[in-house]
Amino acid sequence: MTPLHGANTIGGMPSATGEQHFESVNPATGATGDVTYTDATPMEIHAAVHAASQIATADSRFNREQRATFLENVARELMDLGEPLLAVADWETALGRTRLASERDRTIHQLRMFAADVREGSYVDAIIDTAEPQRRPVPRPDLRRMLFPIGPVAVFGAGNFPLAFGVCGGDSAAAWAAGCPVIYKAHPSQPQTSELCGQAVLGAMKTQGLPGGWFSLLHGADDAVGRELVRQPELEAVSFTGSLAGGRALFDEAAARPRPIPVFAEMGSLNPLFVTPGSLTMRSTRLAEDLAASVLLGMGQFCTKPGLLVVPDMPVTDDMIDAMIRHMEQHPGGPLLNRRIRDNLRRSLDSTLATGDVTCLTGGTVPDEPGWRFRPALLQTTAAHFLADDVLLAEHFGPVGLLIRCPDMTAMADVARRLGGQLTATIHIAAGETGLIRPLLDILQRKAGRIIFNGVPTGVEVCAAMMHGGPYPASSQAQASSVGITAVRRFLRPVAFQNTPPELLPGLLQNENPAGILRLVNGEYTRKPLPE
């Protein structure tokens, strides 16, 4: 492991010409890190994007096999960082080495998953409609279409997943898999973790002799660094995971450019969880345990934390709530990722309680201890109050859950209609209740990207079928997922070739189909070559 230097990495080379400096802070103790980082200057940002743009046009230099091998090499280099990476990440996040080891393993898995998908090749979505010169009244031309890399991508690091959505995480891996160079803007709470992961990327690049523009790493505690990055004329797309305010600011910045570019932002989500009367009657004790654990997981800093718990107003509800209170009071609380998150959570909680008719059943205090600590809170209100006050639609990013007591399933459906777009929605039902929840399910299908039955939304399986996104404000592009194989499609765009000489066609569109990929040919999926 190379010693940390605190500089930006521009086209493979360290650079620190700026005058603004910062250090990371241990959220558990408030101690300042021993490595000073330098905010990237506008000139450095321009150089990073320009270097990426220069190699983005040389697509032939980065064929599918090279990209697949690169992703596998990044996975190997990341694993080789060993315990020092976990130690640094834990110091900067207080998430614990066990959690971080699991996150590292997930990151390695998704790198290898993307490598396998790139090597197989069908992700290019090749479609061929051969010519019909005899067709009347108008002959059909030969048309062949597939997806190509969009170009340089800016990836903004997520504070709550320093590895899985970090330098080597899902957004970067998807962009590289698509064939796009990455300019990574490190989260200012985790610059040391980002630099270490950047070493893994640089090591993989060196192994294959890839040019420096394939990856750059920018630091910056000032939001101006991110805004300047999005403004770069040669940038083609932005990926972001974080708050609604942060994602919307980048989206607006990209839209205001002379040439707007897409922003794939995963933002806020309440992740409502609905419990039917039958489910509550049958397993209130288990529900209390599972719901409390999901709200508390990672100190409530999962983007899929169930922030709204919508329950029937019946006697057994009090038993479940009492059990949830006991579980949450046994939790000592702990540090949040940074001071901004802790302070924002305190303000949002105060705003919620100030509406009236919202009761804090337990917790919600800031301990008089070092670091950015917070005690988990469980709140309660009625469906009528929730439906009447927009303040209750705000996300509490942290270990806070809001219980909404509903007199009947109609009120539950009204609560669902009141919500904006969500990453997830969860329904707990008992046998024989499928008809009861059908109206609710119909609403949630229009609201959420993923619907869970009899489980909890925390935990996102990295696989081909996963959808991690949703209608606004959960994300800025409702059709896009930031997890799973389809995440690659964010960074691809279609090009159609009409009556193109065979020798000028991309190999994956040629009659021979040398890679044997699955293609849609004249309306049928096949891997067979076309006759000459």
Count the residues in the chain: 532
Q: Cβ of 503: how many Cβ atoms within 10 Å?
A: 6
Place of tokens 């699955």: 518
9: CB partners within 8 A, 6+ apart:
15, 198, 202, 215, 216, 217
- Which 3 state secondary structure label does DSSP give 366? coil
DSSP class per residue in 147-199 = EEE---EEEEPPTT-TTTTSTTSHHHHHHHHHT--EEEE--TT-HHHHHHHHH
For residues 239 and 242, what is the distance between their CA atoms, to the nearest angstrom? 10
- CA–CA separation, 5 vs 94, rounded Å? 22
Q: Is 44 a catalytic residue?
A: no
CA 434 to the chain's CA centroid: 31
Helix spans in 20-137 (H): 42-56, 64-80, 82-93, 97-120
CB 494 within 8 A of CB 268: no
Q: Letter for the amino acid at 32?
A: T
Please tell me which residue in 195, 253, 266, 395 is annotated as part of the active site: 266
* Cβ–Cβ under 8 Å, residues 216 and 52: yes
Annotate 407-460 with three-state secondary structure: CCHHHHHHHHHHCCCEEEEEEECCCCCHHHHHHHHHHHHHHEEEEEECCCCCCC
Positive or negative: CA dihedral 163, 299, 302, 221: negative
Say whether 360 is catalytic: no
* Cβ–Cβ under 8 Å, residues 425 and 271: yes
* Catalytic residue, candidates 303, 395, 406, 461: 303
Residues contacting residue 432 through CB under 8 Å, at least 6 positions apart = 278
- In angstroms and rounded to an integer, the radius of gyration of the C-alpha atoms of the chain is 25
**What tokens does 5 get?**
């230097």
- CA dist 162 and 155 (Å) reads 13
Burial class (CB in 10 A: 0-12, 13-18, 19+), 100: buried
Of 262, 279, 227, give the one whose Cα is nearest residue 455.
279
Please report how the helices 64-80 and 170-178 are oriented relative to each other, as an axis angle in degrees rounded to 10. Answer: 160
Tokens of 211: 């040019």
Active-site residue numbers?
A: 266, 303
